[in-house]
Amino acid sequence: MSLRRRATPLHRDRLAPDHCSPKLRREILGRATYFKGLSAEALGAVDERFRERHYPAGKVICREGGPARSLFFVAHGNVKLLRHSPAGDDVVIDLLPQGGLFGGLAALGLGHYPETALAHTDCCLLSVSGQEFQKLLEQYPGVTIEVLKSASRSLNDAREAIRQLTTSRVDARIAMALVKLGERLGEETGQGTLIQVPLPQQDLAAMVGATPETVSRVMARMKREGLVDSGRQWVRILDPGGLRAMIEG
């Protein structure tokens, strides 16, 4: 089964939302930071502790502040992470690709889910309960070390996000968001890096702390300058060097 997407915008090879093959499960878990150092036998034992869950686009997977009972890996599709702002708005903080990790567990020191997770597209997820994950930590010390490393990286990423929001110009923040989305969700084509996911301007605006009108103006300028191209449900990065210059300038 191919995991590659076609390079043409709006035309993607799709996996039926009710299907996650054993091969795909092993591949997703084997690529995950927590488990990539395990043997094939150990990875099989890990796979047995995970359960498949299927969500249609728009379905809430877990809610911010709810009891943290499960950890999730994205096997197919994209997941949107949101946080509730003091003003009462849902602020988009991330879009997760295949292999993305989210949720929370008491075993990781989280009593409640730190954000709301929403199926951005039809999704197949692999989930593990707190009790089962605790057994994995006890059985595989290497997994425990990777969990600690991951927690440290997440903390550093959160600090950098705060710094960007408080010190960077809005065009630099938009350029940074596009570069990061390209690295995580994009595919290289002969015409640049194609990000083939629904990305409404209000979502991009929420990610960078700007208004949709400002994002629209900046994106229009980026298109005129040949940095990006975009259409319905896709963005193509044409000049990553130009975007990075905007970030640094």
Tell me what pLDDT residue 15 has.
Answer: 45
Tell me what pLDDT residue 210 has.
Answer: 86
Is 39 domain-assigned? Answer: yes
Structural domain count, the chain: 2
Residues 27 and 147 in one domain: yes
- pLDDT tens for residues 92-141? 888 888 888 888 776 566 788 888 999 998 999 999 998 898 888 889 98
- What span, in angstroms and rounded, lies between the C-alpha atoms of 30 and 36? 5
Nearest-10 crossing angle of helices 170-185, 141-167 = 150
Residues 150 and 97 in one domain: yes
- pLDDT tens for residues 188-245? 888 899 988 878 888 888 888 888 899 999 999 999 999 999 887 889 999 999 999 9
Tell me what pLDDT residue 27 has.
Answer: 85
135: domain CATH number?
A: 2.60.120.10
The structure tokens listed for 33 are: 């930071």
pTM of the predicted model as reported, rounded to 2 decimal places: 0.72
Is 11 domain-assigned? Answer: no
Residues 177 and 153 in one domain: no
224: domain CATH number?
A: 1.10.10.10
Task: Domain of residue 110: give its range.
Answer: 22-166
| End residue of a domain, out of 166, 201, 221 | 166
- Check residues 142 and 90 and name the one with the higher pLDDT: 142
Residues 33 and 155 in one domain: yes
Residues 118 and 216 in one domain: no
Local confidence band at 32 (pLDDT 50, 70, 90 cut-offs): confident
- Check residues 159 and 213 and name the one with the higher pLDDT: 213
